[in-house]
């Protein structure tokens, strides 16, 4: 029994073909939108590529860009097919091509769904990439004279100012690394010498943060050094001075920023997937209705259209049997190939006609 069978008159078939022609052109526009969203996300990620540890996060924008390009080609071809389906004579040239086209388009729409889901499931990979990338970038903050790293100070300062954040997980991350270059330390100063000697790795550590961590909304001048020492500053309480430096870590700030973008893109891609699925459903109805018209031989007659000719269970069972038969035929061919009696049979090269020469009997010698 056919699944979701619908009866179509000639007028309904023509209208369905015209509507699908328009929808396929709209789908070309949605393909451009997918491409644009992927390109936008890729550019946003590349802006802070040096703050990410791995390149796996680029899989989402790359997926969207590829799907967008393919969508334009598939839907452009679909528009041509639907335009010709309004004429029975023109449908003949697409008859054998339509079913493979529908199958390929179905897998393509599945890729769109995968792209939408990836936008929601990449949060953990993105968070890990940001955590490791920011951890390495903070270590090289002081290397303003090292080629390949000299840009990181400006990158991190601009990041902390723009996203109003400080450190990786928080401002205390700066306490654990040396973020001031040796060239700016007075090595003759006893305090500097004591700090370097007090650390096992010989690093200059202090409870201070760069200027970019300062909160612009603070009512007092920014306190960057000795943040945890209340006696070092007048009328200062470390626990209550929440407005002095940014408390949010940059990893969390960037994660929220990219998560918001990816969720918005994912929702848009999900809507596009539903739209593409509805267009594919209409093309399937049009294909089955036109094939039934050709079987009847009357282009003006009514015809049935359906999604599946048999039920879901019967269709799955028949496809499974086809796969099993293909496997059995391959095994039979392999076995028969090994037992071919004509294989490995030596032939004598007797001549052009492959006829052995006659043997001339030798004369026996007389006995004495």
pLDDT digits (tens, 9 = 90+) for 191-218: 888 877 777 677 888 888 999 999 888 8
Nearest in space to 305 (alpha carbons), one of 295, 315, 320, 314? 295
> Which range is least confidently modeled, 196-205, 239-248, 342-351?
342-351
User: How many angstroms separate the CA atoms of 299 and 292, rounded?
Assistant: 10
3-state secondary structure of 6: strand
Does 341 score more than 50 pLDDT?
no
Residue 348: what pLDDT?
A: 47
User: How many angstroms separate the CA atoms of 251 and 105, rounded?
Assistant: 39
CB 13 within 8 A of CB 286: yes
pLDDT band at 83 (very low <50, low <70, confident <90, very high): confident
Q: The tokens of 8 are what? A: 């179509």
Residue 342: what pLDDT?
A: 47
Does 343 score more than 90 pLDDT?
no
Nearest in space to 285 (alpha carbons), one of 109, 145, 82, 128? 82
3-state secondary structure of 128: helix
Residue 310: what pLDDT?
A: 67
Residue 293: what pLDDT?
A: 80
Q: Which residues, in sequence order, are CB contacts of 156 under 8 Å at separation 6+?
A: 137, 138, 141, 210, 212, 250
Residue 180: what pLDDT?
A: 87
pTM (2 decimals)? 0.76
Does 148 score more than 90 pLDDT?
no
Residue 146: what pLDDT?
A: 80
User: How many angstroms separate the CA atoms of 171 and 253, rounded?
Assistant: 13
Q: Give DSSP secondary structure letters for 270-310.
A: HHHHHHHHHHHHHHHHHHHHHHHHHHHT-TTS-EEE-SBSS
Phi (first) and psi of residue 58, to 5 degrees: -75, -10
User: How many angstroms separate the CA atoms of 68 and 49, rounded?
Assistant: 23
User: How many angstroms separate the CA atoms of 339 and 344, rounded?
Assistant: 10
Q: The tokens of 240 are what? A: 């209550």
Phi (first) and psi of residue 25, to 5 degrees: -70, -35
3-state secondary structure of 308: strand
Does 298 score more than 50 pLDDT?
yes
* Mean pLDDT computed over every residue of the chain: 82
pLDDT band at 157 (very low <50, low <70, confident <90, very high): very high
The rounded percent of the chain whose pLDDT value lies above 90 is 34
Taking phi over 0 as left and psi of -120 to 50 as alpha, with beta for the rest, 181 belongs to: beta
Q: Which residue in the block uniquely carries the two structure tokens 């590349």?
A: 46
> Which range is least confidently modeled, 158-172, 192-206, 319-333?
319-333
> Which range is least confidently modeled, 191-200, 235-244, 329-338?
329-338
């Amino acid at each position: 029994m056919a699944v979701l069978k619908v009866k179509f008159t000639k007028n309904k078939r023509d209208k369905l073909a015209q509507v699908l022609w328009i929808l396929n052109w709209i789908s070309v526009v949605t393909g451009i939108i997918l491409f644009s969203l992927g390109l936008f996300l890729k550019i946003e990620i590349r802006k802070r590529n040096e703050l990410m540890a791995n390149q796996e996060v680029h899989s989402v924008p790359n997926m969207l860009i590829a799907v967008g390009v393919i969508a334009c080609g598939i839907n452009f071809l679909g528009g041509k097919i639907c335009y010709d389906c309004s004429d029975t004579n023109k449908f003949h040239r697409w008859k054998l091509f339509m079913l493979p086209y529908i199958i390929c388009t179905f897998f393509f729409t599945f890729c769109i769904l995968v792209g939408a889901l990836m936008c929601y499931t990449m949060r953990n990979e993105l968070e890990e990439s940001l955590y490791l990338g920011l951890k390495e970038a903070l270590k090289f903050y002081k290397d303003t004279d090292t080629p390949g790293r000299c840009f990181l100070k400006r990158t991190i300062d601009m990041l902390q100012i723009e996203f109003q954040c400080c450190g990786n997980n928080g401002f205390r991350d700066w306490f654990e690394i040396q973020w001031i270059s040796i060239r700016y330390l007075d090595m003759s100063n006893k305090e500097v010498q004591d700090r370097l000697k007090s650390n096992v790795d010989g690093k200059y550590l202090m409870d201070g943060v760069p200027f970019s961590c300062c909160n612009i909304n603070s009512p007092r001048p920014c306190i960057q050094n000795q943040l945890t020492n209340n006696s070092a500053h007048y009328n200062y309480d470390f626990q209550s001075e929440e407005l002095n430096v940014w408390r949010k870590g940059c990893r969390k700030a960037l994660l929220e920023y990219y998560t918001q973008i990816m969720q918005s893109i994912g929702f848009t891609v999900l809507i596009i997937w539903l739209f593409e699925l509805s267009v594919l459903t209409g093309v399937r109805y049009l294909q089955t209705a036109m094939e039934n018209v050709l079987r009847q031989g009357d282009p003006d007659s009514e015809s049935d259209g359906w999604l599946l000719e048999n039920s879901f269970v019967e269709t799955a069972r028949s496809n499974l049997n086809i796969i099993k038969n293909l496997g059995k035929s391959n095994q039979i061919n392999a076995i028969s190939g090994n037992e071919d009696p004509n294989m490995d049979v030596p032939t004598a090269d007797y001549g052009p006609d492959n006829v052995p020469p006659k043997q001339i009997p030798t004369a026996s010698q007389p006995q004495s």
